[in-house]
Amino acid sequence: MTKKRVGVLISGRGSNLQALIDACKAPDYPARIVVVVSNVPSAQGLLRAEASLIPALVIDHRDFASREAFDAALDAALTEAGVELLCNAGFMRLHSEGFVERWRDRHLNIHPSLLPAFKGLHAHARVLAEGVKITGTTVHFVRPEMDSGPIVAQAAVPVLPGDTADSLAARVLIAEHRLYPHALGLVASRAVRVEGELVVGMTQIKDQAPYFSPPLDEPL
Ligand code: GRF
């Protein structure tokens, strides 16, 4: 099997990067990470890449006069590394339209809500403020508008009484770490593809029962 060459963009902790690194260790996983780029020099994720002997670069956005100039440097580094698929994993910069177009349908992002609800920052606090009962996480193809684009995969996560933004973030993060490798695997293996502005292809839904929160007294 030829594994797709993946680049990962990070800005911080890199726990989703770690989940992708761990998934790529499986011999039958259809992707491997060839470069990690951070726009933040102190990002913890850089250490995770180095610990796994993955080339890790810092391209600090503060060194560039414009978003376009930063993105050009990013694009050059990814091209140099032979990246075929790009994954944003906690990358906290908006891309220029030119960059998004260049990587169109080869570029994924993970967001900690059930998109298109709760785009942007502080999703968990806003979920709690709205009294939402079920939230989750989404992996989608990147489009110019923040946190929008064809949805590859989602995981639903219950909001529990007494949740804080931190406790909810921790519960959603567990799902993120399962979802991102799953979604990247589907894209890298070409089990799914973009058609129009929707992702089509293989679905593996086995349990079609609706999910209730608060739960029903009796299961359906
Ligand atoms: C995750 O919650 C991700 O969904 C969001 O930013 C966070 C990054 O966490 N885009 P980490 O750096 O992967 O630990």
Strand order in the sheet with 134-141: 56-58, 31-38, 4-10, 85-88, 107-111, 134-141, 151-158
Q: How far is the CA of 205 from the centre of ligand 1 (A)?
A: 26
pTM of the model: 0.97
Instruction: For the chain, state the CA radius of gyration.
Output: 18
The residue type of 113 is S
Overall average pLDDT of the 178-204 stretch: 94
Write out residues with Cβ below 6 Å of ligand 1. 12-16, 89-90, 110-112, 173, 176
pLDDT band at 205 (very low <50, low <70, confident <90, very high): confident
In this model, does residue 218 exceed pLDDT 80? Answer: no
For ligand 1, atom 8, name the residue with the nearest CA. 90
Rounded Cα–Cα distance for residues 77 and 7 (Å): 10
Q: What is the DSSP letter of 90?
A: S
Q: Which of 108, 212, 112 is nearest to 158 (CA)?
A: 212
Q: Which ligand 1 atom lies nearest to the CA of residue 172?
A: 2
Residue in 95, 107, 111, 140 annotated catalytic? 111
DSSP 66: S
Nearest CA residue ID for atom 6, ligand 1: 90
Active site residue 177: no
Residue 206: CA atoms inside 13 Å, Cβ hemisphere, count? 0
CA distance 84 to 82: 6
Instruction: Judge whether residue 219 has pLDDT over 70.
Output: no
Residue 209's pLDDT band (cuts 50, 70, 90)? confident
Q: Which residue has the CA at smallest separation from atom 14 of ligand 1? A: 15
3-state secondary structure of 61: helix
C-alpha dist (Å) from residue 96 to 23, 67, 127 = 30, 6, 28
Confidence band (pLDDT; 50, 70, 90) for 207?
Answer: confident
CA distances from 124 to 61, 99, 107, 192 (A): 27, 29, 24, 29
pLDDT digits (tens, 9 = 90+) for 161-188: 999 999 999 999 999 999 999 999 999 9
pLDDT at 204 over 80: no
Q: Which protein residue has the closest C-alpha to ligand 1 atom 2? A: 112
Q: What is the pLDDT of residue 220?
A: 62
Q: Compute the distance from residue 148 Cα to the ligand 1 centre, in Å.
A: 16
